[in-house]
A and B are shown apart, each in its own frame.
Chain A
Amino acid sequence: MAGRENSEDFEREWQQAFEGFEQEPPTGVWGQIDSQLTYQQMKAYRAKAAMYRWVAAAVILLAVGVTAWQYHYLSSKEVIRYSAAVNADAPDQEEQTFSWNIPLWFADEEKKTTNFVKQNLVAGSTGDREMYLQSGVYGNIEGSTSVREELSLERLGVAGALAVPTNLTPDHLRILPVYNFEKQKLKADPSRYWAGLNVGSAGFKPNYQSFDNQLVSGNNRSQAAFSLASNDAVDTNSPPVREDMSAGETVSFGVNFGVKLSDRWVLESGLQYARAEATTVTNIAIQTSAYQEVIPATSQVQSVEKVNSTLRRDKVVEYEYRDIDLNNQFEFAAVPVKAGYRLLDDRLSLELNAGVIANVYLGNKLSGSDDVASITIGPGNESPYRDLSFSGLAGVEMGYQLFRNFDVVVEPNYRRALSPLTKQNSGFRANPAGFGLMTGIRYNFN
Chain B
Amino acid sequence: MAFSDQELIDGCCKGERKAQRELYNKYSSQMYAVAMRYSKMQQEAEDILQESFLKVFQNIEKFRKDSSLPYWIKRIVVNTALNHQRSKLYLYPMVDISDLNNQSDTELTLSSFGHKELMEMIRRLPTGCQVIFNLYAIEGYKHHEIAKMLEISEGTSKSQYARAKSLLKEWIVESNTVNYGRAGEF
Which residues of A does B touch, CB under 8 Å? Answer: 1-5, 7, 10-11, 13-15, 17-18, 21-26, 28-30, 32-34, 36-37, 40-41, 235, 237-239, 283, 319-323
- Given contact pairs A1-B110, A237-B89, A37 touches B57 in the complex (Cβ within 8 A): yes
**CA gap between A25 and B53 in the complex, in Å:** 13
Q: Is the CB of A319 within 8 A of B87?
A: yes
**CA gap between A34 and B18 in the complex, in Å:** 11
Set of chain B residues within 8 Å of A28, measured between Cβ atoms: 46
**CA gap between A18 and B139 in the complex, in Å:** 10
Set of chain B residues within 8 Å of A40, measured between Cβ atoms: 54, 58
B81-107: CB near A (< 8 Å → 1, else 0) gives: 001101101100000000000000111
Tell me, rounded to whole Å, the shortest Cβ–Cβ distance linking B129 to chain A: 13
**CA gap between A283 and B82 in the complex, in Å:** 13
CB-CB nearest 7 A-B residue pairs: A3-B107, A22-B29, A3-B108, A321-B87, A25-B32, A11-B137, A5-B105
Set of chain B residues within 8 Å of A37, measured between Cβ atoms: 17, 20, 54, 57
**CA gap between A32 and B52 in the complex, in Å:** 12
**CA gap between A25 and B17 in the complex, in Å:** 19
Instruction: Give the interface size bracket for B toward A.
Output: 35 or more
Closest to A23 in B: B33
Q: Is the CB of A321 within 8 A of B84?
A: yes
Closest to A235 in B: B90
Set of chain B residues within 8 Å of A21, measured between Cβ atoms: 33, 115
Set of chain B residues within 8 Å of A1, measured between Cβ atoms: 109-111
Q: Is the CB of A22 within 8 A of B30?
A: yes
Q: Is the CB of B140 within 8 A of A15?
A: yes
Q: Is the CB of B151 within 8 A of A239?
A: yes
- Given contact pairs A17-B115, A17-B118, A41-B15, A25 touches B87 in the complex (Cβ within 8 A): no
Q: Is the CB of A17 within 8 A of B90?
A: no
Set of chain A residues within 8 Å of B29, measured between Cβ atoms: 22-25
Closest to A242 in B: B83
Tell me, rounded to whole Å, the shortest Cβ–Cβ distance linking A8 to chain B: 10
Set of chain B residues within 8 Å of A13, measured between Cβ atoms: 109-110
Q: Is the CB of B111 within 8 A of A23?
A: no
Q: Is the CB of B138 within 8 A of A15?
A: yes
Tell me, rounded to whole Å, the shortest Cβ–Cβ distance linking B151 to chain A: 7
Q: Is the CB of A26 within 8 A of B46?
A: yes
Set of chain A residues within 8 Å of B108, measured between Cβ atoms: 3, 10
A sample of 15 cross-chain residue pairs with beta-carbon separation below 8 angstroms, ordered by A number, consists of: A2-B109, A10-B165, A15-B137, A17-B113, A18-B115, A21-B33, A21-B115, A22-B32, A26-B46, A28-B46, A37-B20, A37-B54, A37-B57, A237-B89, A239-B90
**CA gap between A397 and B87 in the complex, in Å:** 54
Tell me, rounded to whole Å, the shortest Cβ–Cβ distance linking A6 to chain B: 8
Set of chain B residues within 8 Å of A10, measured between Cβ atoms: 108, 137, 165
Closest to B111 in A: A1
- Given contact pairs A10-B165, A14-B137, A24-B32, A32 touches B86 in the complex (Cβ within 8 A): no
Set of chain B residues within 8 Å of A36, measured between Cβ atoms: 50, 54
Tell me, rounded to whole Å, the shortest Cβ–Cβ distance linking B149 to chain A: 12
Set of chain B residues within 8 Å of A323, measured between Cβ atoms: 83
Q: Is the CB of A2 within 8 A of B32?
A: no
B9-53: CB near A (< 8 Å → 1, else 0) gives: 000000101001100100011101100110000100110011001
B72 interfacial contact with A, CB 8 Å: no
**CA gap between A78 and B21 in the complex, in Å:** 68
Q: Is the CB of A18 within 8 A of B37?
A: yes
Set of chain B residues within 8 Å of A283, measured between Cβ atoms: 83
Set of chain A residues within 8 Å of B87, measured between Cβ atoms: 238, 319-321
Q: Is the CB of A33 within 8 A of B110?
A: no
Which of A11, A33, A239 is in CB contact (< 8 Å) with B86? Answer: A239
Tell me, rounded to whole Å, the shortest Cβ–Cβ distance linking B115 to chain A: 5
Q: Is the CB of A3 within 8 A of B33?
A: no
Closest to A41 in B: B15
Q: Is the CB of B83 within 8 A of A321?
A: yes
**CA gap between A14 and B172 in the complex, in Å:** 12
Set of chain B residues within 8 Å of A26, measured between Cβ atoms: 42, 46
Set of chain B residues within 8 Å of A237, measured between Cβ atoms: 89-90
Closest to A323 in B: B83
Kindly list 18 other residue pairs between chains A and B, CB separation below 8 angstroms, not including A32-B50, A37-B17. A1-B109, A7-B105, A10-B165, A11-B137, A14-B138, A15-B138, A17-B110, A17-B118, A23-B33, A23-B115, A24-B28, A25-B46, A34-B21, A37-B54, A37-B57, A40-B58, A235-B90, A320-B87
